[in-house]
């Protein structure tokens, strides 16, 4: 699937959060905590229509999880068919993506890097190589690093240095090189800056 390759700092400033979780974006928001453009400094983030607020929340979720519109809409429709709040179901399905699990495990510094690791066949699910970032893990799955990944300096550096608490629905093992899906993620486990209720309102129109 195609992924966003445009100006990431600009997106983060427009949405008011470090969407791509990189140092460049963090520093840019500290220096210029206002939207880009000629009138960005005087524009209020909460100004605008209800529709704009709803659209921005959808954009946040899409950029954070690296999902384009068609796949995002399919995921939303699936979430809408499940029991329970549609917005929470949507975030739960996005959290179960293999690239996100690899990020949550602390093997990658960002979700885009995690997506790259999966695409390059560096991640195993139940001992088998899976190279589809959107692959959805299930309860009981064991996700681990391949032998090649374990030998990579960047992966070991991430394991050693990233100060990221593994979420409650994952359990680490094998010195941080493996995680077991203990349960499906609940809303309290999902720390993304997204107001999912606004996404539901947008698609319910």
Q: Where in the chain is the domain with CATH 1.10.1050.10?
A: 8-94+195-203
Q: What is the pLDDT of residue 151?
A: 97
Q: Can you identify the CATH homologous superfamily of domain 97-184?
A: RNA-binding S4 domain (3.10.290.10)
195 SS3 class: coil
CATH 3.10.290.10 placement within the chain: 97-184
In angstroms, what is the C-alpha Rg of the chain? 18
Q: Could you report the per-residue pLDDT of 18-75, keeping only the tens digit for each?
A: 766 666 656 655 676 656 655 455 555 555 689 999 999 999 999 999 999 999 999 9
DSSP readout, 142-192?
Answer: EEEE-HHHHT-HHHHHHHHH---PPPTTEEEEGGGTEEEE-S---GGG---
Structure tokens at 157: 């550096």
Residue 87, burial from CB neighbour count under 10 angstroms (0-12, 13-18, 19+): buried
Confidence of residue 163 (pLDDT cuts 50, 70, 90): confident
Using DSSP's 3-state secondary structure scheme, residue 170 falls into strand
Q: How confident is the model at residue 99 (pLDDT cuts 50, 70, 90)?
A: very high
For the chain, give the mean pLDDT.
Answer: 88
pLDDT of 108 over the 90 cut: yes
Closest C-alpha to 67, from 3, 20, 111, 11? 3
Q: Residue 2 pLDDT > 60, yes or no? A: no
Res. 9 pLDDT band, cuts 50 70 90 = low
pLDDT at position 17 is 72
Note the CATH architecture for domain 8-94+195-203.
Orthogonal Bundle (1.10)
Model confidence pLDDT, tens digit, residues 111-148: 999 999 999 999 999 999 999 999 999 999 999 999 99
pLDDT surpasses 50 at 1: no
Task: Dump pLDDT digits (tens) for 64-89.
Answer: 999 999 999 999 999 999 999 999 99
For position 165, what pLDDT does the model report?
A: 82
């Amino acid at each position: 699937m195609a992924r966003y390759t445009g100006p990431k700092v600009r997106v983060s400033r427009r949405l008011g959060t470090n969407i791509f979780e990189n140092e460049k974006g963090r520093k840019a928001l500290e220096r210029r905590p206002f939207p880009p453009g000629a009138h960005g400094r005087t524009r209020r983030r909460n100004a605008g229509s209800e529709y704009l607020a709803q659209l921005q929340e959808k954009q946040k979720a899409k950029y954070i999880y690296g999902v384009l519109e068609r796949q995002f809409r399919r995921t939303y429709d699936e979430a809408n068919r499940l029991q329970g709040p549609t917005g929470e179901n949507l975030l739960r399905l996005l959290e179960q993506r293999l690239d996100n699990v690899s990020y949550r495990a602390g093997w990658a510094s960002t979700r885009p890097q995690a997506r790259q690791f999966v695409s390059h066949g560096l991640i195993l699910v139940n001992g088998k190589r899976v190279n589809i970032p959107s692959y959805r893990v299930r309860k009981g799955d064991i996700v681990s690093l391949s032998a090649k990944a374990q030998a990579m300096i960047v992966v070991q550096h991430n394991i050693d240095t990233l100060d990221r608490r593994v979420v409650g629905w994952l359990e680490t093992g094998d010195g941080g090189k493996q995680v077991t899906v203990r349960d499906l993620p609940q809303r309290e486990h999902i720390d993304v800056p997204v107001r999912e209720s606004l996404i539901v309102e947008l698609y319910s129109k």
